[in-house]
Amino acid sequence: MTATAANGQPAFPRSFSLQLAPGTVDAFPPSSPNRRDAAPAAAAVTALLPARVYPHKPRKRWLTRLRATGTYALFLLIFVALLASLVDFGHSIIYSDRSSKASDLIIGFGSYVAVIVFGIGMAVARRIANNRAEAAIPKAYVPIQVEDVPKRAYRLIKSEFDRACIITKVHQPRGRSQAGWGRPGTASENVHFRSAILSTVPALRAALEPLLATTSTRARSLQWAELGGGARSGPISPLAPLLLDTDDDAGGALIPDALHPLAELYERHLVKAKYAKEEPTEQEWDEAVKAVAVFVGVLTTTTTTAAAKAAAALDPA
């Protein structure tokens, strides 16, 4: 639901007020609590804009209309005069007894060309004037001030703009989230948590390959019941064979006891990602990724240490 103020008016957030076009502060109702927030932002933006060309309300509008009317009348009279002269010239040629001369043809052809050029010139001039008038209109200006348009138009625009503001606010998406997927705008955007958690198993198994050859057959064949789990045939995590296996040379477990809770947490996340109907959360995905990073680092160090010991044993010197 839309947040409302004490007077029942819809409360718009400050971010929404900052997105309004300059000069639209009056679109909010006088009692709106956001009117105070929108005024400074709109005033600051308006100060950076060039002077408004609108409203086009010259003080001597009658003079402008008279000048435009006189210009159109003059052009019309000239056009009619040229057309009448052409008609008279053609009539004189048709009913003339004397033979036609080249000069008469030149005059007639020139008159027609003059009329055509004059008409094209008028059309081009009007086109240029219209383009200049359209270019002079500020594109970002919304004429909703009381001095821009008649009062009836102002009230209509104001009411419709208020309605558009309320509809926009009510229909803004809120709480955009999809179970099992990362939220837009976060580090986990477009991440499917179930697939991402299961995809960490190959990376962990690759880090375990050098150590799996040294683990005992008993530890590798441990059932899930021996690890305190359910009735499944075996664990999902490749760490399970190493949790109880010991390194005879080091006299301890291949995985430190301090990391056993982390391994069990990783196993639980794998079980949920593979079997649970409920989708994994972003926190579970983050914990699983961090656990894999820790285990890969520990196992890499263990492998390097074991290789160094083996090299030292082969080289007694």
Distance CA 176, CA 49 (A): 36
> What backbone torsions phi and psi does residue 103 show, to the nearest 5 degrees?
-65, -35
- Residue 231 banded pLDDT, cuts 50, 70, 90: very low
Report the amino acid identity of residue 63.
Answer: L
Distance CA 161, CA 149 (A): 15
25, 47 contact by CB (below 8 A): no
- Beta strands, E only, 153-270: 246-247, 252-253
Distance CA 290, CA 269 (A): 12
Q: Which pLDDT tens digit goes with each residue over 130-168? A: 888 888 777 766 666 777 778 888 888 888 888 998 888
Please check the confidence at residue 233 and state whether its pLDDT lies above 50: no
242, 215 contact by CB (below 8 A): yes
- Indicate the pairing of strand 246-247 with strand 252-253: antiparallel
Q: Which pLDDT tens digit goes with each residue over 274-310? A: 888 889 988 898 998 898 888 888 878 877 777 777 7
Distance CA 20, CA 27 (A): 10
Domains of the chain by residue range: 14-54+140-170, 61-135, 193-314
**Hey, what are 36's tokens?**
């105070």
Please state, rounded to an integer, the average pLDDT across all residues of the chain.
Answer: 69
Q: Which pLDDT tens digit goes with each residue over 61-110? A: 677 778 778 888 888 888 888 788 777 777 776 666 555 566 667 777 77
CB contact set of 3 (below 8 Å; sequence gap of 6+): 10, 11
Q: What is the pLDDT of residue 226?
A: 43
Give the closest residue to 177 by CA, choosing from 189, 194, 164: 189
- Residue 175 banded pLDDT, cuts 50, 70, 90: low
Report the amino acid identity of residue 57.
Answer: K
- Residue 223 banded pLDDT, cuts 50, 70, 90: very low
Q: What is the pLDDT of residue 204?
A: 81
